[in-house]
Structure formats: C-alpha cells, structure tokens
Amino acid sequence: MFLGRVAGTVWSTVKWPQTKGLKLLLVRPYRLGDVAPGAVRPGAEASEPTDDLVVCADTLDAGPGDDVLVAFGHAARVAVSEKLAPGAKPDVPIDAAVVAVVDRVEIDGEAGR
Amino acid sequence: MIRGKVVGQVWATRKARGLDGQKLLLVAAQDAQGAPNGRLIVAVDVLDAHSGEDVTVAFGSGARNVLRPGPENRDLLCDAAVAAIVEGAG
C-alpha cells in the first residue's frame, strides 16, 4: 500500500462492464521527503506529495484533498469486489484501489532521519 | 521483498472491512547502502515493529502468507506486510 493525496478524478464511458459505476481517482503518492523533510533535505518543511500520479478505483467516496491509502493487485480487487458484488470472485479488472481515508499520520522525527 | 525503516504509523476510521484491526506502519524503503531512497510504503504489521527499527516488507501473496499461510488466504486484503525485523545486514 502507499499513502497519497487525491488530486482529481477520471471519467470514462468505454470500459469493461465489471467496472461500471466505479469511481476512478487520481492519487499522488507521498515520498519520504514530503512527510519527514529533514530526512532528505535538512531544514526543508513538510510539503505536498510529489510522486507520479496513480489512477485508483474508489469505493469509500474519497474526494480531492483527502489523504488515502491505496492497495495494489489482488488486495485492490478484494476491496472493490466486496463493495460491488459481495461474495463474488474478485475478477474486476483493476489493480489499484483506495482502501482507507486517512485520519492521522504520525511520523517519528528521529526515525525519519 | 524490500528492506526499510519504520518511520511512523497511519490511522483511518473510514476503510475497507479487510483492514479492520490491522496496524498500519509507514516504512521508508532503503537502497543498497541502507540509506532511504525516498519511497514510502504502508505495510500491515503483526510482528509489533516500532519506529526506528529496520524491517523487511513482503508484497503480494508473500504479504498474505505473513498474515495467514496459504493457499486459502486470497480473501485477505493485504498487499504489503512486515515480514521480519532486521538485526543486521552486511
């Protein structure tokens, strides 16, 4: 999984039927220097996430500005299938999904260095 | 697997059911020299690792095997898990 911030939304009409009704979000992952600045750039302040965007399915109704956890692979399909079709095989064609909307992140200042 | 250092913890109330009761650690991945390479990973922890400790993180079915040895574990929502607490590396 990774920690990221929702940066936007993606729409599409031509897609696999299993993904009908599924919201797609653009999520930007945090890097170490974004959350523990001193670890990478001494004296730098905490900043916005800076990594490349990832497109994720969302079943938790996250929105732009929310910090979220995103799971990859089979774990993503398990999370989405549980909401779309409980009990069915996780065969939805996605490989990344929002699995939590983050309340709090605690960074140990010393460990981050 | 990758090697990394535990740098923090993440809490969430609104989450997929499969994450209920799981401790979620923020792990800074390390390069060959043991220095942080900038990448951050969130891993499920059942070994009670703490901030500042070096750990290995397993991904995919390897991560699920940490929580419940397979093959009947494909219902688990876990793509990364702390697999070991590292005491030394050379």
- Mind listing the domains of chain A with CATH numbers? 2-101 (2.40.50.220)
pLDDT class of A109 with cuts at 50, 70, 90: low
How close B56 gets to chain A, by Cα (Å)?
14
Which token pair is A99? 């699995």
Size of interface A-B (CB pairs under 8 A): 132
Is there a contact between A1 and B15 if contact means CB atoms under 8 Å apart? Answer: no
Euclidean distance between CA atoms B7 and A109, whole angstroms? 8
Among B6, B19, B77, select the one facing A111 at the smallest CB separation. B6
Chain-chain contact of A107 with B7 (C-beta, under 8 angstroms): yes
Which residue is associated with the tokens 């095997």? B65
> Percentage of chain B surpassing pLDDT 90?
91
Q: Residue B35 belongs to what domain range?
A: 2-85
B20–chain A nearest CA distance, Å: 10
Is the predicted ipTM greater than 0.95, yes or no? Answer: no
Domain-located, residue B21 = yes
- Token output for A37: 């600045």
Test A111 with B13 for CB contact under 8 angstroms: no
pLDDT confidence tier of residue A112, bands split at 50, 70 and 90: low
Give pTM, 2 decimals: 0.92
- Is residue B72 domain-resident? yes
8 A C-beta contact, residue B18 and residue B78? yes
For residue B26, give how far its alpha carbon lies from the nearest alpha carbon of chain A (Å). Answer: 8
Selected residue with higher pLDDT from B58 and A43: B58
Q: What is the pLDDT of residue B88?
A: 87
Domain assignment present for residue B67? The answer is: yes
Contact assignment for B36 to A104 by CB distance below 8 Å: no
CA nearest to B12, candidates A105, A24, A70, A75: A105
Q: Do B39 and A31 touch (CB under 8 A)?
A: yes
Instruction: Assign residue B49 the CATH number of its domain.
Output: 2.40.50.220
Q: Is residue B32 assigned to a domain?
A: yes
All residues of chain B having their beta carbon less than 8 Å from the beta carbon of residue A74 are 60-61, 64, 74, 79
The pair of three-digit structure tokens given for residue B11, joined into one six-digit string: 């809490």
pLDDT digits (tens, 9 = 90+) for B6-46: 999 999 999 999 999 999 999 999 998 999 999 999 999 99
pLDDT in tens, A30-50: 999 898 877 666 666 677 888
How many domains does the structure of chain B reveal? Answer: 1
Q: What is the pLDDT of residues A48-98, one digit of tens each?
A: 888 899 999 999 999 999 999 999 999 999 999 988 888 888 889 999 999
* Domain annotation covers residue B90: no
